[in-house]
Copies of this chain bind each other. A is one copy, B any other.
């Protein structure tokens, strides 16, 4: 049996979107529940999810283990896994790693674009690598089973995280820089080291990460995946669509500037293109997840590799990553 898993979304969640997850056959989705939120704000976001779980038990439930993905498939629902794009939910307190894990967090980025207490973001001019606290927190994440995610981190910090972590890490949503050079896309060195360590790369469908942006073709996207398989190994690849469906542009501003600046920062956008870009026509939302499978098959990748990239690889990674080693 093969599974469909999306390794990252941050939508303006609603019953409509939960139903589209079912229409697209998604067995599991890793959802971002914190960008710049401190602990208490993150808990409020979890409370919001708890209300959705209570209201829509026939569509979604809170996923904590790989087994929950199988249970989701068996019961025709989507298992929702929590993750953070910044370490702000642990504040300056390493004890909050286990607390957040108990509350369901399964992925945490060590930095989001900027320098954090733990590591450097991909937009900083200098990257001094993992901090003292960063090394301690990676060890604690390894202990409890919370995945180190370096999607928005800078290269040296990412390579050091791969090296320092005793368990495989993830880059849940990014593409190779060889295909589309962007600060958020990853160097060959990073992708190779990630694959060699058994880590996972989730391919992003966020237009700023795509060659041709919103006009990127399905064929171009899938050919890039097939080429990346040579670099990282097909068993270490998945999808992390970065779907930001139905979000108002105020949210992309929150993602970019949080509370760290009084100025405007356009991130991957620009003054003339400040909001969320339109998605490619072949991936409007969860309903189109199957299109990627068709596109991957057309590249000549084996049926097993395609099934792996569509979800089986994420499931194997979930099975071994979400509890004590």
Chain A residues at the B interface, C-beta cutoff of 8 Å: 39-40, 43-44, 46-47, 50-51, 93, 95-96, 98-99, 102-104
Q: How far is the CA of A43 from the CA of B40 in the complex (A)?
A: 10
Q: How far is the CA of A61 from the CA of B50 in the complex (A)?
A: 26
Q: In the assembled complex, how far is the CB of residue A44 from the closest CB belonging to chain B, in whole angstroms? A: 7
Copies of this chain per assembly: 2
Q: Are B47 and A99 in contact (CB under 8 A)?
A: yes
Q: How far is the CA of A163 from the CA of B104 in the complex (A)?
A: 34
Select which of B47, B98, B99 is within 8 A of A95 by beta carbon: B47
Select which of B50, B96, B98, B102 is within 8 A of A98 by beta carbon: B50
Q: Are A51 and B102 in contact (CB under 8 A)?
A: no
Q: Are B93 and A47 in contact (CB under 8 A)?
A: yes
> What chain B residues lie within 8 Å of A103 (beta carbons)?
99, 102-103
20 example contacts (A-B, Cβ-Cβ < 8 A) are as follows A39-B40, A39-B43, A40-B40, A43-B96, A43-B99, A44-B95, A47-B93, A47-B95, A47-B96, A47-B98, A47-B99, A50-B95, A50-B98, A50-B99, A51-B95, A99-B103, A102-B102, A102-B103, A102-B104, A103-B103
> What chain B residues lie within 8 Å of A51 (beta carbons)?
95
Q: In the assembled complex, how far is the CB of residue A45 from the closest CB belonging to chain B, in whole angstroms? A: 10
